[in-house]
């Protein structure tokens, strides 16, 4: 059993928690969660989402950390080595490859959206110095989407920020970045929440919208979206958490750190909802059917009217940019670790090449918002929506399915018991084991079958 990884190690348990929370908390929590909740009717969707976190997300999170820490390599090689050790086929490494491909695809469009947040942060920043504000937010957002050059620029700036950190390595890059950025993120979020709770009188309505379930809104599509969101928001199924687990000390308790990260991520999503919806409602906008423009159109409308709206807007888009940054680092890291293992190139060269290719791939998403807007790839979806659909709703759950089967059935119980630790009451281990053996795979299969229209 290896105790260190060739890529580096987190200096403490806290460093892992910050990095993994940084990976989990991202655009998925602050941009995507509020708007898909808004599109899917509020409370009932939130309930299904929370059930998915508990029944699939948490057990898979523990499995990924465990596989990573036991293998101490990139997901492909950790899975391959552990499979060989347990007398199973090397082909399990292929699951790691699906993950790396999904991560790469996600990075390509994630960075485009992160570029929007940088653009908005910059926009509010210039307003501090007297530049004119956003008079018509819908027009401003539409203008941004219609301008491939501007989006390409900010997408590029964001990719440079990401690769800058990854190229510097685990201790000097990733750990140093999250130690500064995560406290900043929590501080900004707290300020925004306090504002929403005290300065608007719509907090109660937002709570009702988020937590009162209307079950008539549920169908297979909504459940599938909730499941895809649970995977996406916890960074599962693509090897980010597995890779981060490879750098975690053998002394740390996996159930404890895994639970902390899952709770922090879920907490941030709910707090983001509670910080955003009161403002949307207080300014007379509907919380329903927001769409991807929810925070880029509705919120700036409110900011324009609010006392200190410019400062508030700047803080909000800074928060989003920081959250996106610590996530995109974790999207680039697994592929980087894999190619460092597979080739003779240095971490720096590998990271640079991968980021450049992801940036180029992102240009297709940029163009699908304007020039190729009418080109549908899958169903009614343009390229960017198709990439998001394939990666989040299909590849992540599929890889998650295999990871659950691997952790529950392929890996010997001696290994998993040793990794998850014996310091816990027996039901923790048994509970985890049956969730990954039966509940998680079954739920994923049922949702897939439902979506394919089998019942
Ligand atoms: N969890 C991140 C978010 O919620 C996105 C992400 C997905 C990051 C997969 C890494 C891996 O924004």
Question: Residues 309-341: pLDDT tens digits?
Answer: 899 899 999 999 999 999 999 999 999 999 999
- Residue 31 CA: nearest ligand 1 atom is 12
Report yes or no: 47 and 387 within 8 Å, Cβ to Cβ.
no
Of the residues 331, 337, 397, which should be mutated to test ligand 1's pocket, given the most ligand atoms within 8 Å of the CB?
A: 331
User: Which of the residue ranges 31-40, 56-65, 346-355 would you say has the lowest mean pLDDT?
Assistant: 31-40
Residue ranges in 343-412 assigned as alpha helix (H): 347-368, 383-388, 396-405
Place of tokens 């090397």: 90
Share of the chain above pLDDT 70, in %: 98
pLDDT surpasses 90 at 75: yes
pLDDT surpasses 70 at 454: no
**pLDDT per position as a tens digit, 275-309:** 988 988 888 777 776 677 778 888 888 888 888 88
pLDDT surpasses 70 at 245: yes
How many other CB atoms sit within 10 Å of the CB of residue 447? 22
Q: How confident is the model at residue 187 (pLDDT cuts 50, 70, 90)?
A: very high
Q: How confident is the model at residue 219 (pLDDT cuts 50, 70, 90)?
A: confident
Please give the full DSSP string across 35-103, using - where no structure is assigned: HHHHHTTSHHHHHHHHHHIIIIIHHHHHHHHHHHHHH-S-HHHHHHHHHHHTT--GGGHHHHHHHHHHH
Report yes or no: 420 and 66 within 8 Å, Cβ to Cβ.
yes
What phi, psi does 382 have (nearest 5°)? -75, -175
pLDDT surpasses 80 at 453: no
Q: How confident is the model at residue 216 (pLDDT cuts 50, 70, 90)?
A: confident
Residue 147 gets which letter from DSSP?
-
Please give the Cα distance from 290 to 299 (Å, whole number): 11
Question: What does the pLDDT read at residue 125?
Answer: 95
Measured in angstroms, how far is the CA atom of residue 339 from the centroid of ligand 1?
A: 21
Of the residues 19, 22, 24, 324, which should be mutated to test ligand 1's pocket, given the most ligand atoms within 8 Å of the CB?
A: 24
User: Which of the residue ranges 184-193, 308-317, 376-385, 433-442 would you say has the lowest mean pLDDT?
Assistant: 376-385
Q: What is the mean pLDDT of the chain?
A: 92
Of the residues 19, 32, 110, 232, which should be mutated to test ligand 1's pocket, given the most ligand atoms within 8 Å of the CB?
A: 232
Share of the chain above pLDDT 90, in %: 68
* Torsion sign across C-alpha atoms 222, 226, 229, 231: negative
Nearest residue CA, atom 7 of ligand 1? 235
Question: What does the pLDDT read at residue 290?
Answer: 67
């Amino acid at each position: 059993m290896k105790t260190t990884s060739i890529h580096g190690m987190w200096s403490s348990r806290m460093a892992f928690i910050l990095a993994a929370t940084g990976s989990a908390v991202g655009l998925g929590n602050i941009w995507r969660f509020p708007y898909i909740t808004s599109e899917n009717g509020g409370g009932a969707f939130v309930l299904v989402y929370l059930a998915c976190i508990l029944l699939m997300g948490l057990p898979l999170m523990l499995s990924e950390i465990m596989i990573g820490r036991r293998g101490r390599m990139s997901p492909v090689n950790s899975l391959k080595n552990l499979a060989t050790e347990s007398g199973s086929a090397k082909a399990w490494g292929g699951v790691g490859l699906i993950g790396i491909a999904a991560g790469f695809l996600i990075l390509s469009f994630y960075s485009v959206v992160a570029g929007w947040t940088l653009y908005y942060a910059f926009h509010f920043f210039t307003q501090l110095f007297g530049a004119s504000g956003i008079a018509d937010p819908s027009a401003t957002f539409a203008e941004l989407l219609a301008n491939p050059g501007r989006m390409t620029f900010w997408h590029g700036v964001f990719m440079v920020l990401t690769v800058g950190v990854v190229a510097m390595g685990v201790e000097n890059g990733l750990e140093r970045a999250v130690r500064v950025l995560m406290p900043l993120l929590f501080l900004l979020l707290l300020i925004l929440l306090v504002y929403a709770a005290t300065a608007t009188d719509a907090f109660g309505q937002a709570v009702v919208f988020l937590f009162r379930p209307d079950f008539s809104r549920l169908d297979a599509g909504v459940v599938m979206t909730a499941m895809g969101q649970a995977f996406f928001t916890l960074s599962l199924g693509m090897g980010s958490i597995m890779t981060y687990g490879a750098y975690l000390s053998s002394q740390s308790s996996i159930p404890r750190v895994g639970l902390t990260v899952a709770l922090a991520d879920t907490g941030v999503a709910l707090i983001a909802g509670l910080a955003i919806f009161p403002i949307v409602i207080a300014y007379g906008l509907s919380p329903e059917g927001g769409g991807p423009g929810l925070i880029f159109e509705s919120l700036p409308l409110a900011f324009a009217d609010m006392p200190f709206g410019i400062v508030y807007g700047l803080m909000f888009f800074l928060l989003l940019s920081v959250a996106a940054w610590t996530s995109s680092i974790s999207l680039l890291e697994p592929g980087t670790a894999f190619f460092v293992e597979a080739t003779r190139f240095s971490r720096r060269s590998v990271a640079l090449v991968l980021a450049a290719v992801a940036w180029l791939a992102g240009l297709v998403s940029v163009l699908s918002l304007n020039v190729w807007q009418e080109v549908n790839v899958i169903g009614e979806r343009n390229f960017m929506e198709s990439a998001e659909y394939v990666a989040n709703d299909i590849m992540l759950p599929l890889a998650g399915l295999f990871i659950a089967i691997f952790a529950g059935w392929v890996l010997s119980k001696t290994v998993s018991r040793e990794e998850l630790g014996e310091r816990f009451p027996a039901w923790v281990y048994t509970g985890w084991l049956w969730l990954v053996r039966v509940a998680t795979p079954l739920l994923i299969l049922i949702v897939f079958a439902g979506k394919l229209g089998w019942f």
